[in-house]
Structure formats: structure tokens, C-alpha cells
């Protein structure tokens, strides 16, 4: 029976050792909750790092405990964690993906360990995976893993989801190992992101860095179709909704009310990170107090910063800057009975943020960049009284869904200041109206919905790929071909040139046949039952130069010219080229403003090539050209033929299909291919 294998950097569990014995504590995170419905069923399993350095002698004990929970550990050494996780994942990928490129470190040792650890994950997957299994890989620490698995298990269903933003091409191209990272991700059948912006950025980077083609949100690579799509992640909304009624949360909330009374609370909860915009929101709060003295003793900010990576210089500096700014604001505005900012640099059990969510009048969520940001959704799910105002950064993925929030640019201090004032002064009816709509969204599109739509889409993508591959030559069809060829007495093979006999080339004249190709044609010709016909859009002069010495037939320029073995070229009658002057003028205008493009002139056609043009720009110009040429070609009885990095205009009377039909007319071939 097939199973689902979930793979992430860390397992959804915390492992602790007390009195020489290891204990497991299941994570309360949204991902663990959402995927719990999958990995806890049947033989399904979750693979990930155990989260601590485990002595070799204890590995089996931990493995046995984890296997009871359908979890399988990857054990990593301190050096692997230092270079793969702290190094490449968090000092190379994290800053680039969050548009903080000045913090990025490009250390070769980081990369070497990143690749090594991804291989370590792969080796464990290979021990567990069986034919028919579904594999779902999570996040930026394992970008190489999909392709590593694909190379070993080519028919396996693989999904990949990235939980952080994907940067624009201009940022992503800075990474020295960009080719390897993209190739790794494209080993998946389905690649998911939180937002359509991330989908666009990934597709743009992939098409610019790799020699691949796209159709809408599908990437074509190595005879495979990879679907790229947006799946906005939800939270365990019911849990946060129900928590507000728990005894612990109600008790904490009562204590807050006794201490702060009618003071309006502005809440800020974040992990320590330069991408979270903590400094900017403190400056905005400072401006509110400075310009609105009527709010003194009437409002307060409760700020929780969860410690993270504070051994890294940038994070340590950020913590110091926060400490100084909080101290500065408190020292300037505090009174004997009131502190403007209540600042906590530590983590709390889930009941504490739940009580703060429930009590807070305003929640400030203003990251500089964030894949989704689940704090905003946790706040909404906790507002069971349907009051409160969410101020949300437009740079957070959640802003695409939570449109009733006050959306701000975190770089615009004035805009954040005005949003805080607007939230403080907002009428109750408007608050309730906004929050009611926000809660409907969060409660409906929760973590379970996210898991369901991703897994359903992965299944659909794989079924579609199986259906598509069934149209290719399979073993049964190969056998039928062989039997038909054996039984035939007179065969004709129509063979295209570019993309069939040779790969596409930026310079068409450089795509010349080599000795191996000539040998293949000669081998086919040795059988007297075979008739070889090269049929191409190439000029007849070019085909004559390359293949005129061979005992085969040639069809050039899509059928405008024919040459039978031992005879001269024959021109298709009643064709005109008088139309070319007007069309050439338009093509020249596109070449003049598109560096790298050029025009190829044939006897009865014109072709505009853009293979050497910057990716993206070439496609843009080609689509524009096709749109502008449609009326002209229809009026003049011409055919517009988009091809691989080329747009060709030719007489409508000629095409390869007609040429092939004309060639076989009156001949008694019993095998045509």
C-alpha cells in the first residue's frame, strides 16, 4: 500500500533529555497540526532533523521513540548544522530570499555542507520510499532534494512547498549556485508558494537561468511538466478560536485588565529577525506619541520578541537597537503610573499570546518581507468578539487575502503612523465589519484546507502527467512500430531538421549536421525499402549544401521547394513574394528595438529570430509582433507561424503537412512516418 512521506528540516517534535532518558514533546505549530492528519495515518511518515546533537550510542533509542509517532530522524553533526543550517540556509538563502542581500554570505564550505546534508536526507528517503509513494518536501533548507530523489526514483510523485518568499530574478541571480538550486526544485511535480508574486518570481528566474520553456504556470523540462502554483497557508484557526475560552487564557486576560484597565493595547509579536520590521514599527509608535499627546496614558504597546539566532552579529545588533529604542521611548514618555512599551525578550507558552490577541485593540504586523505571516491570522482567529484592528504590511503574503486589514508599506513611516491613528479612532461598527469579514476568511481557509488543496492539486498534476506521458511512445507502441516496420515493403520517413536531427541553436547557421548524423542517415538508406525525406523550414540553399550529396529527398521552406534524389530543385508553382517588403519593414522595426534579434529571409518567407534576446523580453516582443501582424497576414493571405524562439511569416498555401501529402500522392508506401 502506498504512503505519504513528509520531509522538512526539523521534525514536528522537541526532544529533551532528563534523568538519562529522552522525552518527546509534540510541536504546537500550524504545520505540525495541519500535517498531523497525514503523517499519523497508516504507514505515512515524517522525516526531519531531530533538533539536537545526539551521541551515536543514543541514536537507536531516539529512532525507536520517534518511529512510534510515525517520525523518522535525520541525525546531523554540529559541523553540519553550523554550515548547512546556520550557514547556507540562514546566512545565504534567508537574506537573499528576504531582499537583504547585504547580509548574505557566499561561503563554499556552506554550499558543500548544504549539498551533503540534502544527500543525507535523500539516502534516508531511498531506504523508506517504495513505488507509488507520495513525497512532500518543505522549505528552503531542502531545495536540492526533489531532483536528488527524482534521479533515483524517476516515477515518484513529488511535491515541494516553500514557506518563505521567493525573490525577484535580480536578487536570486546573486547566488553563485543558482543553477543547482533551481534544478533541484524542478525535480518536483508541483512547486507551491504562498503568493502569485512568488510564482512569478520563481518562473522568471527559472526561465532566465535555465534553458527551459513555460506555458502559463507550467514549466517544461526534460520531457516533464512541472506545475507552479500559489497555495496561501492557513492556521489552526479553530484552536486559536477555542483557546480564548480556556480557563488559562481567561485568567491571564483578567489579570491584564486589572493592571491596564481601559488602556488601548497595540500588540507586536515576532521572532527576532531583520525581516520583521520591528524597528520601523517602534519608530511609528514613537511618532504617534510625539504628535498626539492626548494618547499619553491612554495607549500602550505590548511587544514580545522571541529570541532567535542572537549569536549572529546582525541579530545581536538588531536586539541591541531594539533595546535602545524601547528604552529611549519609555524614558521620554513614561509617567509614574504608565509605561508606553511593555517589552519582553523571551518566548511564552501559547496561552500568553492567545490572551494578548484576545485583549489587544490593535495588532501591528509590519514585516519588511514575509512569506505569509501567521501572527496576523492568529490574531484574527482569537478575536471572538469581532473587535480589534489589524495593521498589516503589504510585504506579507497574508495581505493578499486579508484585504479588510489596514494595509501599509513598512518603509513608509508616515503611512504606518496614520494607520495607527486611524485604528485608534476607528468607529466600533467599522471595526466589527472589518473583523467579521477577516474572521470568515481565516476560519474558512485554515491549515486543513491548505493541506487538502495542495495534496489534491499534487494528485491532479501527477494524473495529468501520466495521461500526457501515455501519448508518448511506450513499450507497447514501440513493439507495434517494430512489427509494422518489419512487415512493410516500402517505407517513407519524413524527418524535420531543427529540434529533431539537431538541437536548436542561437545561430541557425551553426546548427550543422555532424558525421554521426550523416552516418545515421546512411545506415537508414542501406535498406532499399526505406525512403528518407528531410522536410524543413530551412532555405533550400542550406539543405542543398548540407544534404545535397546524400541519396535522399529534400523539402525546404515548409514545402515551397522540393528536390528528389539526383534532380534539381523544383519551386512550388503560383507562389508570390511581393508581400515581403511591407512585412520586412515591420520586422525591422522590432529588430531595431530588440537587441539580439535578427531577420532571416527565405524565397517565400521571412523569419524573426529572438533566441539570443534576453529571456522575457524576447517573448514579450514576439507576442506583440504576433498581435500586430495578425490583421496584415490575414489581409495578404499569409500564415503566421510562431515557433521555438522564432516567428515566421509565409504564404498560406505552403506547409509541411501539404508538402508531405503531395509527396506521397500516387505512391504505394505501406509505412509512413
Q: Where are the domains of the chain?
A: 4-230, 239-439, 479-575+657-672, 580-652
Query: What pLDDT, on a 0 to 100 scale, did the predictor assign at position 30?
Result: 60
Query: What pLDDT, on a 0 to 100 scale, did the predictor assign at position 596?
Result: 84
Q: Is the pLDDT of residue 672 over 70?
A: yes
In the chain, how many H helices and how many E strands?
A: 24, 27
On whether the CB atoms of residues 530 and 493 are closer than 8 A, the answer is yes
Phi/psi for 340 (5° steps) reads -70, -35
Query: What pLDDT, on a 0 to 100 scale, did the predictor assign at position 325?
Result: 98
Query: Reduced to 3 states, what is the DSSP secondary structure of residue 159?
Result: strand
| DSSP label at residue 507 | S
The reply to whether 239-439 and 580-652 are identical in fold is: no
pLDDT (tens digit per residue) in 626-664: 888 887 888 787 888 888 889 999 888 888 888 888 888
Average per-residue pLDDT for the chain: 91
Query: Reduced to 3 states, what is the DSSP secondary structure of residue 263?
Result: coil
On whether the CB atoms of residues 416 and 199 are closer than 8 A, the answer is no
Between residues 341 and 486, the one the model is more confident about: 341
Q: Which of 279-293, 437-451, 527-541, 631-645 has the highest mean pLDDT?
A: 279-293
Query: What pLDDT, on a 0 to 100 scale, did the predictor assign at position 472?
Result: 60
- Architecture of domain 580-652 in CATH? 2-Layer Sandwich (3.30)
Q: Which long-range contacts (CB under 8 A, 24 or more apart) does 614-619 make?
A: 614/208, 615/207, 615/208, 616/204, 616/207, 616/208, 618/594, 618/645
Q: Is the pLDDT of residue 241 over 70?
A: yes
Q: Is the pLDDT of residue 312 over 90?
A: no
pLDDT (tens digit per residue) in 34-47: 687 678 888 899 99
pLDDT (tens digit per residue) in 392-406: 999 999 999 999 999
Query: What pLDDT, on a 0 to 100 scale, did the predictor assign at position 650?
Result: 86
Query: What pLDDT, on a 0 to 100 scale, did the predictor assign at position 136?
Result: 97
The rounded percent of the chain whose pLDDT value lies above 70 is 97
Query: What pLDDT, on a 0 to 100 scale, did the predictor assign at position 566?
Result: 84
CATH code reported for the domain at 4-230: 3.40.50.2000
pLDDT (tens digit per residue) in 81-136: 999 999 999 999 999 999 999 999 999 999 999 999 999 999 999 999 998 899 99
- Residue 584: CB atoms within 10 A of its CB come to 16
pLDDT band for position 469 (50/70/90)? low
On whether the CB atoms of residues 653 and 665 are closer than 8 A, the answer is no
* Candidate list 58, 222, 385, 496, residue with the active-site label: 496
Distance CA 236, CA 475 (A): 48
Query: What pLDDT, on a 0 to 100 scale, did the predictor assign at position 21?
Result: 82
- Architecture of domain 239-439 in CATH? 3-Layer(aba) Sandwich (3.40)
Catalytic residue check, 320: no
Task: Give the CATH fold of the 479-575+657-672 domain.
Answer: Rossmann fold (3.40.50)
pLDDT band for position 582 (50/70/90)? confident
Report, as an integer, the average pLDDT of 297-301: 97
Query: What pLDDT, on a 0 to 100 scale, did the predictor assign at position 355?
Result: 97
Q: What angle do CA 382, 388, 390 make, to 5 degrees?
A: 85
Query: What pLDDT, on a 0 to 100 scale, did the predictor assign at position 468?
Result: 66
Residue 198's closest CA among 159, 168, 161?
168
pLDDT (tens digit per residue) in 356-372: 999 999 999 999 999 99
pLDDT (tens digit per residue) in 194-215: 999 999 999 999 999 998 988 8
Distance CA 388, CA 435 (A): 7
Query: What pLDDT, on a 0 to 100 scale, did the predictor assign at position 266?
Result: 98
Q: pTM of the prediction?
A: 0.80
pLDDT band for position 293 (50/70/90)? very high
The rounded percent of the chain whose pLDDT value lies above 90 is 61
Q: Is 288 exposed, middle or buried (0-12, 13-18, 19+ CB in 10 A)?
A: buried
Amino acid at each position: 500500500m502506498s504512503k505519504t512521506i513528509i520531509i522538512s528540516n526539523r521534525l514536528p517534535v522537541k526532544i529533551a533529555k532528563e534523568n538519562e532518558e529522552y522525552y518527546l514533546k509534540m510541536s504546537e505549530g500550524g504545520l505540525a497540526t495541519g500535517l498531523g492528519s497525514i503523517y499519523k495515518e497508516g504507514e505515512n511518515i515524517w522525516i526531519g532533523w531531530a533538533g539536537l546533537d545526539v551521541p551515536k550510542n543514543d541514536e537507536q533509542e531516539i529512532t525507536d521513540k520517534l518511529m512510534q509517532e510515525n517520525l523518522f530522524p535525520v541525525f546531523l553533526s554540529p559541523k553540519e548544522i553550523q554550515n548547512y543550517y546556520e550557514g547556507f540556509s540562514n546566512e545565504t538563502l534567508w537574506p537573499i530570499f528576504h531582499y537583504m542581500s547585504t547580509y548574505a554570505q557566499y561561503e563554499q564550505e556552506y554550499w558543500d555542507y548544504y549539498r551533503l546534508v540534502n544527500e543525507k536526507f535523500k539516502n534516508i528517503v531511498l531506504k523508506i520510499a517504495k513505488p507509488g509513494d507520495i513525497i512532500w518536501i518543505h522549505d528552503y533548507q531542502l531545495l536540492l532534494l526533489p531532483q536528488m530523489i527524482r534521479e533515483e526514483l524517476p516515477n515518484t510523485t513529488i511535491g515541494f512547498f516553500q514557506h518563505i518568499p521567493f525573490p525577484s530574478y535580480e536578487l536570486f541571480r546573486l547566488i553563485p549556485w543558482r543553477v543547482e538550486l533551481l534544478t533541484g526544485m524542478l525535480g518536483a511535480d508541483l512547486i507551491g508558494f504562498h503568493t502569485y508574486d512568488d510564482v512569478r518570481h520563481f518562473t522568471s528566474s527559472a526561465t532566465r537561468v535555465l534553458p527551459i520553456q513555460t506555458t502559463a504556470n507550467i514549466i517544461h523540462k526534460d520531457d516533464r511538466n512541472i506545475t507552479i502554483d500559489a497555495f496561501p497557508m492557513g492556521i489552526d484557526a479553530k484552536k486559536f478560536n477555542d483557546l480564548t475560552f480556556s480557563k488559562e487564557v481567561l485568567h491571564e486576560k483578567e489579570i491584564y485588565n486589572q493592571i491596564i484597565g481601559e488602556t488601548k493595547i497595540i500588540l507586536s509579536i515576532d521572532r527576532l529577525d531583520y525581516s520583521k520590521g520591528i524597528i520601523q514599527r517602534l519608530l511609528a509608535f514613537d511618532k504617534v506619541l510625539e504628535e498626539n499627546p492626548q494618547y499619553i496614558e491612554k495607549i500602550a504597546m505590548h511587544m514580545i520578541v522571541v529570541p532567535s539566532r542572537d549569536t549572529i552579529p546582525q541579530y545581536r545588533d538588531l536586539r541591541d537597537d531594539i533595546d535602545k529604542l524601547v528604552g529611549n521611548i519609555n524614558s521620554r514618555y513614561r509617567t509614574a503610573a504608565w509605561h508606553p512599551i511593555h517589552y519582553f525578550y523571551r518566548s511564552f507558552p501559547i496561552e500568553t499570546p492567545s490572551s494578548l490577541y484576545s485583549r489587544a485593540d490593535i495588532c501591528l504586523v509590519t514585516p519588511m518581507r514575509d512569506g505569509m505571516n501567521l501572527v496576523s491570522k492568529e490574531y484574527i482567529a482569537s478575536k471572538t468578539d469581532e473587535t480589534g484592528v489589524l495593521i498589516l504590511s503589504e510585504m506579507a503574503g497574508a495581505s493578499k487575502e486579508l484585504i479588510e486589514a489596514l494595509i501599509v508599506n513598512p518603509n513608509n513611516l508616515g503611512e504606518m503612523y496614520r494607520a495607527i491613528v486611524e485604528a485608534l479612532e476607528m468607529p466600533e461598527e467599522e471595526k466589527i465589519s472589518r473583523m467579521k469579514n477577516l474572521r470568515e476568511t481565516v476560519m474558512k481557509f485554515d491549515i486543513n484546507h491548505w493541506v487538502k488543496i495542495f495534496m489534491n492539486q499534487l494528485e491532479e498534476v501527477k494524473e495529468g502527467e501520466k495521461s500526457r506521458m501515455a501519448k508518448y511512445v511506450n513499450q507497447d507502441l514501440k513493439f507495434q512500430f517494430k512489427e509494422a516496420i518489419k512487415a512493410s515493403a516500402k517505407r517513407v520517413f519524413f524527418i524535420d531538421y531543427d529540434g529533431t536531427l539537431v538541437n536548436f541553436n542561437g545561430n541557425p547557421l551553426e546548427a550543422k549536421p555532424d558525421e554521426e548524423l550523416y552516418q545515421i542517415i546512411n545506415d537508414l538508406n542501406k535498406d532499399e525499402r526505406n525512403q528518407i525525406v528531410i522536410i524543413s523550414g530551412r532555405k533550400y540553399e542550406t539543405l542543398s549544401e548540407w544534404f545535397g550529396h546524400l541519396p535522399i529527398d529534400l523539402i525546404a521552406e515548409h514545402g515551397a521547394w522540393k528536390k528528389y534524389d539526383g534532380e534539381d530543385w523544383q519551386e512550388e508553382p503560383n507562389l508570390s513574394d511581393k508581400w515581403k517588403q511591407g512585412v520586412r519593414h515591420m520586422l525591422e522595426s522590432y529588430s531595431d528595438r530588440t537587441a539580439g534579434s535578427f531577420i532571416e529571409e527565405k524565397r517565400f518567407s521571412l523569419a524573426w529570430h529572438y533566441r539570443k534576446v534576453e529571456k522575457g523580453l524576447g517573448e514579450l516582443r514576439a507576442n506583440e509582433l504576433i498581435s500586430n501582424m495578425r490583421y496584415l497576414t490575414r489581409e495578404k493571405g499569409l500564415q503566421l507561424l510562431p515557433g521555438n524562439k522564432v516567428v515566421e511569416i509565409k504564404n498560406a498555401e505552403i506547409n509541411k503537412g501539404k508538402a508531405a501529402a503531395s509527396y506521397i500522392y500516387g505512391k504505394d508506401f505501406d509505412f509512413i512516418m
